[in-house]
C-alpha cells in the first residue's frame, strides 16, 4: 500500500516571504509537489505519530494537491490529519485549527493574493505548532532537504472523500474532515461585541464585503449574514472559484475597483471591506474614504480596548519595517513597546508567543493579533465594525479624529512588477553600496539624514536576519524604503515604499501622491529607477 518512489532534487524549491510559490503548471508537473511535501516531512524530522492540519484557498489544483498531501501524510505514518471540508481552509482558520487541536503543524495551499487558475499561481506554506508560518530556521531545513532528496513515499489508496464531515481510519492515520468555518466564527464571537455590531446593522448601517471569489466567502456569509444579521447581498463574490473569476484576489483600490467605485460613489454604504485569496489580508473603506493599511493598524492600536477580547489593553505592538510610522506614534502616546520586523508574518511569531506584542500589522493589508499566528482579514473587519459600533461615528470621523490626535503619516507603495530580475537586483546592489556616502547628500531638495540596509535581531531567540530592505531617512521627516518582493513567480518585483509626516492641524486632508511628490522625485533622482527598469512608472500604486 505504501509506495516508495525514487526521485531527484528539483532546483528552486526555496520558500520565499510566505511559502513556496510557483506557476500552477510548475506545481502540476510530475514529482514537483511530491518532492516539496516529502522535503517538508524530512525537514521537520518526519511526521510519524504527529497531527497535521491541511487545507487551502480553493484555487485551481487545490483539491488534487490535498489528496496527494494526505496520502503522503498517511505514508509517513502521521497519527492524525485534520482537513477542511472540500479541502478548504482560510489561512487564519488553519492557524486557529492548528492551535485549537494542538496539532504539530499544518500545510496551507495558497499563493494568497496572486491570481489563480491553470495559468496562474499556486503555493504551499508550512505552519508550525504555534499556528504560525515556519520561521527561517525551519524553511531553511526544508529547503536543504529539497536539495538532497532521493525518494518520496505515498499511500496507494483511493481518493479520500473530502466532502463528507467525519473521521475515517486509513492505515495508521485518522483522517478527519471538519467544517472549515465553525470554529473560526466562534473565535470571532469571543473576541468582539457581536451584540453591539448586530444592533448597529439592525439600525440601518450598510456594509459591503468583497470576498473576491476567494476563500472568505463562506466565512463572511456565516459571520456577517448569519450571525450578525446583515442582508445577504452585503457579501459580494461570495462563492470561491478555482480561478477567482479571473481576477487578482488582492484587496487594494486597484484590484477591488468595483467595491472602491461603489464606496466612493453616490449613496455609498457606510462601510466596505475586502479580503484576499486565502483570507489573511483586508482592505477597509468608509463612505468616500480609503483607509491605508498602515493607518488602519494605528487606528486599531488606539481603539482595540473597545473590543471585549482586548479590553485589558495591548502588551505591545509590532509592524513590518516598510509599514508607516503611524503605529509608532500611538505606541509612544500609550507607552507601548513597538517593534519593527522584516516583511512577512513569520517574524511576528516569536513576539506573539512571548507575549511581547498583542497586535501586529503590515502595510500590505495584513493585520492581526495574538488570537492566532497569522494575519487575519475578517478579524480586521470585525475589529473596525466593533470600533464603529462602540464610538457611534463614521469611518471618516474616526480617521479625522485619529489624525487630529496623532498627526498623519502620508504613505504610498509603488510596485514595479515583473521587471528584469538582473536590472532590479543590480539597482538594489548599487544603492546598497552607496548607502554609507548618502547622509548629507540632497536629492530633489531632500537631504539624506540616515541610510541603512535593514537587518533584524529577534529579541526572543536572538536570530539575525540581514538585508531586509534599504531604508533612507530624509531630514524633513520623510522615509523611503526599497526592497524586492519574495512572493512573485515571474521576473522581479521592486517595491518602493514612501512616507512623510504632517503634524497638523493644517495639511491633514491632502491627496497622498501629492503630499509625497517630493519623496517620489527624490526617489527618482536617487535611484534613476525608471531608466534602469525601463518603465515609465509603477504598475500598481497603493
Ligand atoms: C508580500 C507583502 C508582505 C506579506 C507577503 C505575504 O510579500 O509585501 O507584507 O507578508 O506578501 O502575504 P513580498 O515579499 O511580495 O513583498 V500573503 O497575504 O501573500 O500570505
Ligand atoms: Co494572503
pLDDT at residue 487, as a whole number: 83
Q: What is the C-alpha separation between 490 and 423, in angstroms, rounded?
A: 14
For residue 250, the CA-to-ligand 2 centroid distance in Å is 8
Q: Does 344 contact ligand 1 (Cβ within 6 A)?
A: yes
For residue 333, the CA-to-ligand 2 centroid distance in Å is 31
For residue 398, the CA-to-ligand 1 centroid distance in Å is 27
| CATH fold of the domain at 184-406 | Alpha-D-Glucose-1,6-Bisphosphate; Chain A, domain 3 (3.40.120)
pLDDT at residue 177, as a whole number: 98
pLDDT at residue 504, as a whole number: 84
Q: Does 542 contact ligand 1 (Cβ within 6 A)?
A: no
Joined grid coordinates for residue 526: 536617487
Q: Which single residue is written with the C-alpha cell 461615528?
A: 393
Q: Does 221 contact ligand 1 (Cβ within 6 A)?
A: no
- 10-residue mean pLDDT profile of the chain (542 residues): values are 96 93 96 98 98 97 98 98 98 98 98 93 97 95 98 97 97 98 98 98 98 97 98 96 92 92 96 97 97 97 98 97 98 97 96 98 97 98 98 97 97 95 96 97 96 97 95 94 89 96 91 96 95 94 91
Q: Does 390 contact ligand 1 (Cβ within 6 A)?
A: no
Q: Does 128 contact ligand 1 (Cβ within 6 A)?
A: no
Residues 6+ apart with CB under 8 A from 84: 54, 55, 93, 94, 97, 177, 178, 179, 180
Give the global pTM.
Answer: 0.95
pLDDT at residue 17, as a whole number: 85
pLDDT at residue 130, as a whole number: 97
Catalytic residue among 112, 234, 275, 320: 112
Q: Taking the domains of the chain in order of start, what are their residue ranges?
A: 2-179, 184-406, 408-541
8 Å CB contact between 533 and 414: no
Q: Does 341 contact ligand 1 (Cβ within 6 A)?
A: no
8 Å CB contact between 318 and 300: no
State the CATH class of domain 408-541: alpha beta
Residue 127's φ and ψ, nearest 5 degrees, are -110, 145
Mutate to test the pocket of ligand 1, among 364, 421, 481, 485 (most ligand atoms within 8 A of CB): 364
Protein residues within 5 Å, CB atom, of ion ligand 2: 112, 276, 278, 280-281
Q: What is the C-alpha separation between 292 and 395, in angstroms, rounded?
A: 12
Mutate to test the pocket of ligand 1, among 17, 216, 418 (most ligand atoms within 8 A of CB): 17
For residue 157, the CA-to-ligand 2 centroid distance in Å is 32
CATH architecture of 2-179: 3-Layer(aba) Sandwich (3.40)
For residue 278, give the ligand 1 atom closest to its CA.
Answer: 18
Q: Is 112 a catalytic residue?
A: yes
pLDDT at residue 490, as a whole number: 82
Q: Which of 271, 97, 283, 274 is nearest to 186 (CA)?
A: 97
Amino acid at each position: 500500500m505504501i509506495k516508495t518512489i525514487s526521485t531527484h532534487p528539483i532546483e528552486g524549491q526555496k520558500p520565499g516571504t510566505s511559502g513556496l510559490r510557483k506557476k500552477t503548471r510548475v506545481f502540476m508537473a510530475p514529482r514537483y509537489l511530491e518532492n516539496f511535501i516529502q522535503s517538508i516531512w524530512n525537514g521537520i524530522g518526519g511526521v510519524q505519530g504527529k497531527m497535521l492540519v491541511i487545507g487551502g484557498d480553493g484555487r485551481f489544483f487545490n483539491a488534487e494537491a490535498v489528496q496527494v498531501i494526505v496520502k503522503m501524510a498517511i505514508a509517513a505514518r502521521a497519527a492524525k490529519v485534520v482537513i477542511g471540508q472540500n479541502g478548504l481552509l482560510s489561512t487564519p482558520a488553519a492557524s486557529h485549527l492548528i492551535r485549537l487541536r494542538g496539532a504539530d503543524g499544518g500545510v496551507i495551499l495558497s499563493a494568497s493574493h496572486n491570481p489563480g487558475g491553470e495559468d496562474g499561481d499556486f503555493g504551499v506554506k508550512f505552519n508550525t505548532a504555534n499556528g504560525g508560518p515556519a520561521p527561517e530556521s525551519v524553511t531553511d531545513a526544508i529547503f536543504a532537504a529539497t536539495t538532497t532528496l532521493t525518494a518520496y513515499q505515498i499511500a496507494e489508496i483511493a481518493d479520500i472523500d473530502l466532502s463528507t464531515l467525519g473521521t475515517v481510519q486509513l492505515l495508521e492515520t485518522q483522517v478527519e474532515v471538519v467544517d472549515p468555518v465553525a470554529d473560526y466564527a466562534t473565535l470571532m464571537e469571543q473576541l468582539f461585541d457581536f451584540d453591539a455590531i448586530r444592533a448597529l446593522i439592525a439600525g440601518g448601517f450598510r456594509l459591503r464585503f468583497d470576498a473576491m471569489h476567494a476563500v472568505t466567502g463562506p466565512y463572511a456569509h456565516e459571520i456577517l449574514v448569519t450571525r450578525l444579521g446583515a442582508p445577504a447581498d452585503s457579501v459580494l463574490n461570495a462563492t470561491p472559484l478555482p480561478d477567482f473569476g479571473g481576477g487578482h484576489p488582492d484587496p487594494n483600490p486597484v484590484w477591488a475597483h468595483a467595491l472602491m467605485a461603489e464606496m466612493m460613489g453616490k449613496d455609498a454604504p457606510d462601510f466596505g471591506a475586502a479580503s484576499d485569496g486565502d483570507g489573511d489580508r483586508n482592505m477597509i473603506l468608509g463612505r468616500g474614504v480609503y483607509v491605508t493599511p498602515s493607518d488602519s493598524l494605528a487606528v486599531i492600536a488606539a481603539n482595540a480596548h473597545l473590543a471585549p477580547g482586548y479590553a485589558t489593553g495591548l502588551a505591545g505592538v509590532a509592524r513590518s519595517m516598510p509599514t508607516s510610522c503611524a503605529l509608532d506614534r500611538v505606541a509612544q502616546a500609550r507607552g507601548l513597546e513597538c517593534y519593527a520586523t522584516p516583511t512577512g508574518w513569520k517574524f511576528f511569531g516569536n513576539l506573539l508567543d512571548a507575549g511581547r506584542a498583542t497586535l501586529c500589522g503590515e502595510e500590505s493589508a495584513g493585520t492581526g493579533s495574538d488570537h492566532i499566528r497569522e494575519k487575519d482579514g475578517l478579524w480586521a473587519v470585525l475589529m473596525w465594525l466593533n470600533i464603529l459600533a462602540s464610538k457611534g461615528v463614521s469611518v471618516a470621523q474616526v480617521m479625522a479624529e485619529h489624525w487630529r490626535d496623532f498627526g498623519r503619516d502620508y504613505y504610498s507603495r509603488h510596485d514595479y512588477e515583473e521587471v528584469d530580475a538582473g536590472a532590479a537586483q543590480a539597482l538594489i546592489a548599487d544603492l546598497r553600496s552607496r548607502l554609507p556616502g548618502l547622509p548629507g547628500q540632497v536629492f530633489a531638495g531632500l537631504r539624506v539624514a540616515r541610510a541603512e540596509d535593514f537587518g533584524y535581531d529577534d529579541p526572543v531567540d536572538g536570530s539575525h536576519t540581514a538585508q531586509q530592505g534599504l531604508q533612507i531617512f530624509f531630514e524633513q521627516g520623510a522615509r523611503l524604503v526599497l526592497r524586492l518582493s519574495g512572493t512573485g513567480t515571474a521576473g522581479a518585483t521592486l517595491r518602493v515604499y514612501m512616507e512623510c509626516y504632517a503634524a497638523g492641524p493644517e495639511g491633514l486632508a491632502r491627496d497622498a501622491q501629492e503630499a509625497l511628490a517630493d519623496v517620489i522625485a527624490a526617489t527618482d533622482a536617487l535611484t534613476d529607477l525608471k531608466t534602469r527598469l525601463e518603465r515609465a512608472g509603477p504598475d500598481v500604486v497603493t
